Structures are given as C-alpha cells and as structure tokens.
Structure 1
Amino acid sequence: METLFSHLFSSQEPQRSQAYSLLHCCRKHFPDLVFIKLFYVIRQGLSADIRARSALVLRFVLCDLWPRLSLNAQINMKNNFLVSLQEEGSLPTLRILCAIAGIRDFWGRNWFHDLLRGMMVGLFNLLSHLKEDYARGALKELIMLVMEEPRLLKPYLNELVLDVLKIADSEHVTEGTKVFVHKFLLTVAEASDLALTMRGLPHQTLVRLLTVPMKLLLCACYNKESDQGANVGKTDLGIAYLTKISTALGEKTMTPIAFELFLEYMDASNWKKRHTGISMLAVIAKECSGEMVIALR
C-alpha cells in the first residue's frame, strides 16, 4: 500500500497511471478494504510523508465511497479518524485530516460532534505536552473551519467557545499561542452565519467571552509605562474584540452584559480596573448607544 501511494504521487507517468488504475479498481470492488488499508498506513506508516499521502488519498476517495461503505466500516472509520487526530504528530497530516473534517455530507450530527471533540482533546494534549507549535497549527485549522464551514459549528458553538476560553485563561500557555486563541474568537465574532447562534449562547458564556477583551485592556493599562509597544498592541486588540463582539451580539444582547461588567469594574478599588471599565463603555457606546441610555435610566 505504501508503494501504491508513493506511485500515485510519482513524477513518472507510467507509474502514476498504473497506480490510479489499481486504486480505481479497489474503489469499485473492495471499498471497505480500501478504507482499512488507508487507515492502517495513516496510523502505522513510519514516514510522515507516507502518512500525509495516505490522508490525501483518503480525501480523494471519500466522496465516492462513503455511501457505499458498510455500517461496520463507517463506524471503524470514525473511530480510527478520532484516534488519528489525537495521536498524529505530523502537522501536514493533521492539516489534511482536519480538512477532511470539513466534508460535511458524509456523517451525521453525532459523527461530527465526536470528531470535533476529538480535535479539541488532541489540542489539549498538545498543550499539556508543551507542543505549542503543533497546537498553534491546530488552532489555525479551527480558524479555517470557522471561516469556510461556519454552519457546521452552530450546534456546538457554546462548548467550542468554552474550550477555547479555557486556553485563553490558562497561565501555562504562552502569549504566542494566545494570539491564535484571540484570532479564533475574533473570527467567530466576524462570521455573519454565526451571529444569531452567538446571541443565543448562555449568559455566562457571553460574560466570559467579553471578559477576554477586558483583560487585554486591563493588562495594557498595567503595562502602560513599562512596555509601550505591547500596550498599544493589546489596547488595539481589546478594542477590536469589543467592537466586533458588540456588532455580532447586537445592542439588545450586548448592553446588559456590558453593563454588568461595567458595574463590577467601577466598584473596584484599583483605579486601573475602573479605567478599563470606562474604556469598555467608550468603545461600545457607538454600537449600543440606544440601549445604554435605557439601561442607565
């Protein structure tokens, strides 16, 4: 099988043509066996290049073969897919597997939910083993998933946002990785297809979501004198967060949450926290001015 996959990507035409003919024959007559062999190589192949090529072949044959697979083969594929996401250490192979996750017509809601949970478990495993370079790659793929297939995420948006917020709150994750966390949350806020779903998220989730830019503004306030460059960057990011979240949630949803946080920050003895509350109020005033007037009355 490794030889077959290497020939499929050969620069020599005779080898490539023969390999495609053999693959077509296997797809037609032995669909279940093709998947068994593909996943065996994806999980057991000694070469990262071979595993990546096997994943590419899987993506190529999936469209035609999925409806023809037996129920046992579909279950076996799902289980192997989830394990592969958690165990694979090659970033190119992980990227291909994550791209396959975007093929939406071949599994039901429970299948995609299990797949998404497997992706998040794999991400947390990478972070716990201090493999942040790979974790950032996984976050990039999640960002691409939000951009390209936002409707797939609607039923699971709350738990996905909560998982990512755990990373944002972690003291053991570097600022470099948190940049991708912030990018993910901003991408969610920018996705028009997710706006209605965001407004329906539980109140506590929305409070935690809004706390992220508040922490950025507060951190910028603390670092104002010591590191002007970092201060400007975090201030701009915090403002961008608040603006985009305000737009996504709309003033009716945003104003009560913002007002709740505003009162909390204004009651603080620390002047920097009070300053952060005022900054937040100034940022969202344009988006929520009408509702804010009613709330303040």
Structure 2
Amino acid sequence: MEAASDSESIEFSKELQSQTHTILSSNDNSPMEILFSHFFNTNNNRSSQQQHSHSLTFFQCCKKHHPHLLFIKLIFLLRCSPTATTRANAARAILFLKPSHLWPKLNPTAQAHLKAHLIQFLKEETSLHVIRLASLVTAETVSAIYNCNNRYQQHWPEIFSFILSALASNDDKFLEVALLILSALPKRCRLMLSDHNRSLHGYLLTTLSSTNPDVKTASFSVVVSLVCLFYEPSLFHDLLRAMMVGVFALLHGYEGSYFRKAFKELINLVSEEPSLLKPYMSDMVLDVLQIAENSGLSKGTHCLAFELVMAMTGLKEFESVLVNLEYDVMVRVFKVLMNMLMCVEEDTKRDSEAEVKGEVESEVDVYKFGMKCLNQICVTFGGSKVVAVAHHVLKICMDSSEWKMRHAGITMLVVIAKQFSDEMVLSENFLGEVVTTVLKSFQDSHVQVRLAAFNFMETPSHFVQVAHVLYHHKLMHAFAIAIDNGHNDKVKEQAASAMLFFLKNTLPESLTLYKNPDTVMTKLLSLLQGKESAKQRSLALSAFNIVAQQCQAIGHRRQFGELEFVQSLEHHSSSLLSIVTWILSELSILIQAQNHSLTTNAKVHDIAVSALGRICEFHRDSIDGSRIVPSWLSLLPLKEDLIEAKVMHEQLCLMVSR
C-alpha cells in the first residue's frame, strides 16, 4: 500500500469535508474502527475493494483538510483504545499517511503533547505487535522533527534519553523497543548519538548475546544502522564477533525466520561497509561454508548463507582477498555449488510438478541460484584458479553414484568452457580427461546425464572445437553408437544434433580419415527411414548430406537409400514441410550431375526426377509451382528406369486431370 501522497491534488466535496471533520472531532471511535476494518481488509472481492476505496478517500480528505485533527485522533486511538486491533490499525494508518507529512501541520503545543503521549505509551503498551508498530511510528516522528525546516521547530531530546535508559534495563520489551527505534532512525539522528558510542557499544554486545531471539535479531539491524559510530577497529571487531556468534546461535536454537532476518542484515553490512569488513573476509567465507555444507539445514538456508559470498564477489574491495583464497577453500566453494546444481528437476517429474508450481513459487529456485553463483564465481576468481579447481571437482562428480551429481559435473563444464576454453585446453591432461568423461557420459545410465553430455559437445567454445579436431575419431565413433543406441527419442535427437554440430565444425579430413563412414551412413539412413520425429529426421538428413559430400564414394553408393526415403514424401507430408526446400536443392544437384550416360548415375538421375515429381504433387503448397513444375516436365520422360517412368506417367496424367 502506498501513502496517499497525491491527496493535495484531489478535490473533495464540502459534504465529505464536513463529514470527516465530524468523525475526527467525535468522542465515538466506532466510525474510525469501521474505516480501519475496511481499509486494511485483505479480501479481494468487489465489495471489499469498494469499501477500501471509500476509506482511502476518507483518509485523503482528512489529510488535505484536517491533518492536525487526523494525527491527534490516530495518536489518541493508539494511546487509549481498549482493543489491541484498533491500536495496531491506528499505528498502521499513521505509517501509511506518513508522520513526515502530518507533523509539520501541528502547532507547537500539540507537538509537545504528542511527544509526551508517545513516550508514555511506549512505557505502558503490553501488546508486542502494537508496540513494534509504534516503535516505527516513533522513529518516523523523530525523523520528521529533525528534518523540519522550521527554525522554531522543537527538538526531542527526551526520546534519546528514553532509548538509552531502555537499553540499560533488563526488560526485553524495552530493549526491543529501543532497538527498533534506533534501527529506523535517519542518518542525521544517528550521528547525534556519537557522544554515546561507547555506551551503545556495550549495550549492543549485551543484546547480541540475549537469549530472546527478537532482541538478538533487532540488534543486528542496529549494528548496521549505527555502524558509523563504531569505525574504531576495536569497537567494530567486538561487535562483528558477537554478530557471528549470535547468527550461529539463531541458526541452531530458534525458528528459521530469526536466522534469515539476522543473516540478511549481515549481508547488508558487507555491502555497505566493505572496507571495514575486508580484514575479516576470509574468516567469514569459512563461516558461510560451515553453514552451506551442513546437510541438516534446508537448501534455502544454504542459498542464503552463500549470498554473503555473492555480495563479496560484487565488490572491488574484496577482489584481491577472494582471488587469494586457499585452494582447499575454493574446492569447498565449488562442492557447495555442485550440491546446489543437484537440485535439477527430473524430466519425468516436471509435468506433475508444473501443476503445483503456484504452491511453491515462494521457495528458492536452488538450481537457478547455483548457476548464477557459478557464473559469478568464475568471473571473480579467474581462469587459472577456476580450471584447476574444476579439474579436481569434476573427478569427484563423475565418480559419484548419484546421477544428479554427475549431471552437475557436466553442467559445470558447460559454464567453464564458455568462459575459460583456452585455460582448459592448456591445462595438463584436462582436455583428454574431459573428452573421456564426456564420451563415457554418452552411455550414462541416466537419460539427463546423457542429454547434458551431448549438449556440452554443442557448446560454441574453443575447447569443444579443439576436442573436435584432436579427438574426431573417438567422437565420430561415439556419435555413431549414440544415434543407434537405446529407445529414448530425446537422447537420439540430442545426439543427432551434437553429431551435426560436430560435422559442421570439424575439419573435412576428420571424416575422410574415419575408418567406418559406411557404418555412419547406414545408421543415418535408418533414422531417415524410421518413425522418428521430423526434427530428428531433419538432423539426420543434414548429417547424411555432409558425410556424403565429404566421403563421395560411399555417398554415391548410399544415394539410392536416400532417394528411396525422399520418394516416400507422400507419407510424411506434414512432418517434412520444414525440409522440402532443402530436399529440392539436393535433388537439383543430383539431377544436374555429370556422366548421365553411366548406368548407375542415370539410375540415380531418374529416381531424383521421380522424387521431384512427388514433391510437385504432394507439397505443391510449399513450393513455387510456376518455377518447379516446368523444370520437372523438362526432365521427362524417364529412360533408364522403366518402373519409375510408368509411375511418373500416371502421376502426370493425374495432375493434368485435376
């Protein structure tokens, strides 16, 4: 909900102005309670929305025409209402309307009375929920007082006396109130406490070690808010040590929300005061790892802890320290990231989980967060260090019996290959070991590991290009096995895609030197003539064409097989629309080939012309018939293949009759 900051520009009727004045001046509080119930109603039905709109208009009118009465009425309800709900709603309304807008509208006498009422209220209120809201009201009122430009404006030294006396007490309620006010004070007011920095230092050490989690957590916010008072190294050292002890106490002894709130304040401290924290950075990384490695904690807690490291990676002050972390620490960092990447969804579960996605939207996407962290860590630490650590961690991942860990290892390779290809190639034995690992993963027992391995071999990186050249014979053999192995269509498709990527990017000699290209052609033809998806057949056809061009002798022998597939186009009319244009260009090459007098080539020529006729018949909506059909007619009649000649004659008669 946003404050009604535009109320000054709205015109309100005289009747509404009179009505608001009557309600604000009345001793009957029930109209205000009804307005609260309408304004803070969380229902989204039409009636509730209308009631909310009417109550908002009421408050906007009050703020514009009766701001002093409005503030006094709300403070009165906060101070005197017998019901905690009304007192809480009064505080929420003040925060919504902003004390900084209302306070200057009061005369000095009213201001003095309200100050006294607020302090007395803070001493007497028994509801923790109400007093927490009132603490924020008090802090915003302090801000309004000390930011006012009126030279006759009063100040409020009594509130600072109240805060210091509350911190000196042993009452948890007073301690929390004082801490909440301090954490919300504007910077100008914080500096006014500089004369009390040593007293505040002692109080905060006490509250950070409190057994009350609300007091302990509120202390974290105050340290971040008042850190400008504790730049002296000894003072800050004591507070930071107390915060680290306190955060572990909250982690293991209380509800998780306390730890999350306190740790977020620790992250804020790192972001706001990097120079102050630089000497402690290495120790804080170790503390983070201690949390992130604890299998007894939730994945969300692991991610929150690692956000501290991520905050460090984004700050120049920490770069030199991070780069110089010990090797063992870096290995631990990468192991934590691998555990995050293990949160990948299994394909078989994705459809069912999509149905309940709305129920878990608030949960942390651990896999996505892990990928983000891995990318950022690579940028921060640099190639030489990352590759050395990744080399070590990859072995651990791929030796795991858990498929998700093996998948995480391949995923790490994809990220690193994109950023540090040259370092990977130059690293001793790393290139060969990665290729061996990937080839082994082509035959992994789990589908998603196989998919990840084929996907890695399509990474547009220098590392993969070098692997294509140096290990072409192993890769070609592995691809040939992969496209003919297993029953998972998705894996076959990804394997065919990786094979095509390899064929397009490797040296032509890689194929001519391969000992068994005939086997590859046979397997590609089996894909073309099978019941695979249109995309899979398109990939196979493209791969077949490349192999045929580079291994012409074998390609020539296989042209009949390819053309037999093309001749069956009428059975695949819908699934092959995307490759009809490509097929036309290939047929054109065959038809225009030299040496038609040779029996074999003449046979190929006639089959190609026959295939072209089938395209003219069954795919006329996908081609330029005015250009293709005349070209086809010019090639008739067929002479070498009498069977095809008869088929073409019948087809031509059928087309003419239409």
Q: TM-score w.r.t. structure 1 length?
A: 0.75
* The one of 97, 104, 119 aligned to 1:6: 119
Residues 243-262 of structure 1 mapped to structure 2, 5 A cutoff: 243-262=375-394
Q: Secondary structure at the match of 1:220?
A: coil
Residue 23 of structure 1: how far off its partner (Å): 7.5
* Whole-Å separation in 2 of the counterparts to 1:99 and 1:4: 29
Q: Distance in 2 between matches of 1:253 and 1:274?
A: 22
Q: 1:288 aligns with which of 412, 420, 432?
A: 420
Structure 1 residue 211: Cα displacement: 1.3
Q: Does 1:144 find its partner at 2:248?
A: no
3-state DSSP class of the match of 2:267? helix
Secondary structure of the residue aligned to 1:46 is helix
SS at match of 1:17: coil
Deviates more, 1:240-249 or 1:190-199: 190-199
Is the CA contact 1:213–1:238 (under 8 Å) kept in the aligned structure 2?
yes
Structure 1, residues 76-113: CA drift from partner, whole Å, max 9, x if none?
A: 653432221232533783353132453276321x4323
CA shift in 2, pair 1:95/1:119, >3 Å: closer
Q: What CA distance in whole angstroms lies between the structure 2 residues aligned with 1:79 and 1:49?
A: 17
Amino acid at match of 1:294: L
Residues 289 and 250 of structure 1: CA distance in aligned 2, closer, same or farther (over 3 Å): same
Secondary structure in structure 2 of the residue aligned to 1:173: coil
Report the equivalent of 1:46: 173
With 282-291 and 47-56 compared, the bigger mean Cα shift is at 47-56
> Does structure 2 conserve the Cα–Cα contact (< 8 Å) formed by 1:167 and 1:181?
yes
1:181 equivalent in alignment to 2:318? no
Give the distance between the partners of 2:313 and 2:376, measured in 1 at CA. Answer: 6
Alpha-carbon displacement from aligned partner over 1:142-170 (angstroms, at most 9, x marks no partner): 22122222222211112112212222222
Match of 1:102 among 212, 216, 227: 227
Matches within 5 A, 1:1-297: 6=119, 17=154, 19-20=156-157, 37=165, 39-41=167-169, 44=171, 46-47=173-174, 48-53=176-181, 63=191, 66=194, 74=198, 77-87=200-210, 89-90=213-214, 93-100=218-225, 102-103=227-228, 106-108=231-233, 110-220=234-344, 223-226=346-349, 233-295=365-427, 296=430
Q: Quickly say closer, same or farther: Cα 1:50–1:274, change in 2 above 3 A.
A: closer
Stretch moving more, 111-120 or 181-190: 181-190
Q: Is contact 2:247–2:262 with CA below 8 Å preserved after alignment? A: yes
CA contact (8 A) 1:123 1:135 kept: yes
**Is the 2:167–2:203 Cα contact (8 Å) retained in structure 1?**
yes
**Amino acid in structure 2 at the alignment position of 1:167:** I
Could you report, residue by residue, the CA deviation over 1:229-275 in whole angstroms, capped at 9, with x for unpaired residues?
A: 69x93332222111000001111221211111112223335444333
Q: Tell me the percent identity.
A: 27
Distance 1:127 1:59 in 2: 30
Q: Which amino acid aligns with 2:119?
A: S
- Note closer, same or farther for the CA distance 1:49–1:202 as it changes in structure 2 (3 Å cut): same
Q: Where does structure 2 lack aligned partners over 5 or more consecutive residues?
A: 1-114, 121-137, 146-152, 355-359, 432-658
Distance across 1 between alignment mates of 2:229 and 2:420: 37
> CA, structure 1 residues 233+61, in 2 after alignment: closer, same or farther (shift >3 Å)?
closer
How far apart are 1:215 and its partner, in Å? 0.7
Give the Cα–Cα distance (whole angstroms) in 1 for the partners of residues 283 and 407 of structure 2.
Answer: 32
Structure 1 unmatched runs, 5+: 27-33
Q: Name the amino acid aligned to 2:227.
A: G
Amino acid at match of 1:219: C
Larger RCO of the pair (alpha carbons < 8 Å, separation 6+): 1
Which amino acid counterpart does residue 161 of structure 1 have in structure 2?
V
**Matched residue SS, 1:138:** helix
User: Kindly tell me: are residues 225 and 183 of structure 1, through their superposed partners in 2, closer, same or farther at Cα, counting changes over 3 Å?
Assistant: farther
- Post-superposition CA distance 1:197-220 (Å, at most 9, x none): 111122222111111211111232
Q: Which amino acid aligns with 1:49?
A: V
Task: Single out whichever of 209-218 and 168-177 deviates more from structure 2.
Answer: 168-177
User: CA separation of 1:153/1:242 partners in 2, compared to 1, >3 Å: closer, same or farther?
Assistant: same
Contact in 2 for aligned 1:45/1:51 (Cα 8 Å): no
Contact 1:216–1:234 (8 Å) recurs in 2: yes
**C-alpha distance in 2 between matches for 1:187 and 1:205:** 17
SS at match of 1:90: helix
SS at match of 2:296: coil
Q: 1:269 to 1:174 in 2, by over 3 A?
A: closer
Contact 2:397 2:406 in 1 (8 A): yes
Structure (1 or 2) with the larger CA radius of gyration? 2
What is the distance in 2 between the residues matched to 1:290 and 1:208? Answer: 24
Alignment CA distance shift 1:65-1:258 (3 Å) = same
The whole-number CA distance in structure 1 between the counterparts of 2:187 and 2:389 is 43
Indicate how the Cα distance of structure 1 residues 93 and 171 shifts in structure 2: closer, same or farther if over 3 A, else same. same
CA distance, structure 2, for counterparts of residue 245 and residue 164 of structure 1: 15
